[in-house]
Every structure is written in structure tokens, then in C-alpha cells.
Amino acid sequence: MIPRILWLVYGYLLVFLTGGALLMTLFVAPSLFAHLGVRKAGEAVSVLFPGYFHLLFTGAIIEVSLLLLLSRISSRKTKILLWGWTGGLVLSGALALYLGPHALELKRLHDQMPADMARSEAFALAHRITFLLNLSLLLGLLAATLSLLSGTVNPPPGTTLPVPQPKNPA
């Protein structure tokens, strides 16, 4: 019973994190830049994304903790997921605790002196790295979600799926 509850919590959190990452990366940020312009959208993104990065990091901590519990009582697939989530934990931790704040500071410095090419280039590099790590996390979340969904097609061992019975017209 406990493993089933842990898998449910794992699955719900995974779907929540994947949906949030898709929403922020593919819809919110591009929409802000399309409708507000670069300067105002940059201000909005600098407010939204630190919280988003911390949410991913917190979610990854919880998912790794759940998988550690499940790896003691579950299959090889759990151990593979655990390795993937450990990588995700490192990436999300880097985004939340180092790269995100570093990029914000570089943006602040760049906004003070927009003509300074060194500051512009430093911010552009930090932004590119942050974007690529976020994209890597999104792809990892999608892979984990697909892994979870592919596991739901087959029933757990010892159970059978109901077979529909043909109806007799009477």
C-alpha cells in the first residue's frame, strides 16, 4: 500500500513540475517578450524565474527522496529514474542557487550601463547557459513523464485487466 501511495505522489509531482516547466518555458516567457517588449519582459522574467527555478529545485529534492524510498522496495526502473533525477537535482540546484542569481546580478549591472559591451556579453552568456540548463531540465521532465506513462500501460504483476464481454442482442 505504501509503495503505491509513494508512486502516486511521485507521479502527481512529476506531472505538476513538467506542466509548470512547459508553461514557463514555452508559453509565459515567449508571450511576455512578444507582448511587452524586451525591457519590460526582462523585468517580468527576472521576477518570475527565480521562484520557478526554486520550485524545480524543491520538486527535484522531493522526487529524489521519494525514489530513494522506492528504490529499496522497487525495480531497476526506479534506480534508473533515481540517477536521472539526481542529475536533475544538480541542474536545478545550479539554476536556483547559482546561475539564476548570477544572471540577475549581471542583468542589473547591464541595465545600469547598457552600452558596456563586456557587461552585455557576460549577461548574454549567463542567459544562454541558464536557458540551455532549463531546456535540459524540461527535456528530462518530459522523458520522466513518458517513462511514467509507459509504465501505466502494463498492469502491475499479479493483476489482470478486465476483458470486455460481447453483448448479446436479445
Closest alpha carbon to 13 in 140, 134, 141 = 141
Q: Which residue has the cell 544562454?
A: 128
| DSSP type of residue 74 | S
pLDDT at 56: 93
How many Å apart are CA 48 and CA 12, to the nearest integer?
23
The answer to whether residue 7 sits within a structural domain is: yes
How many Å apart are CA 68 and CA 48, to the nearest integer?
31
The answer to whether residue 170 sits within a structural domain is: no
pLDDT at 154: 47
Measuring CA to CA, how many Å separate 94 from each of 4, 8, 91, 147, 159? 31, 28, 5, 25, 42
The answer to whether residue 160 sits within a structural domain is: no
Express each pLDDT in 150-165 by its tens digit. Answer: 765 444 455 454 555 6
The answer to whether residue 106 sits within a structural domain is: yes
Label residue 109 exposed, middle or buried (CB < 10 Å: 0-12, 13-18, 19+).
middle
Average pLDDT, the chain: 83
The answer to whether residue 161 sits within a structural domain is: no
How many Å apart are CA 86 and CA 115, to the nearest integer?
41
pTM score > 0.85 for this model?
no
Residue 7, domain extent: 2-151
Which residue numbers in the chain have pLDDT < 50? 153-156, 159, 161
The answer to whether residue 81 sits within a structural domain is: yes
Count of domains for the chain: 1
The answer to whether residue 169 sits within a structural domain is: no
The answer to whether residue 98 sits within a structural domain is: yes
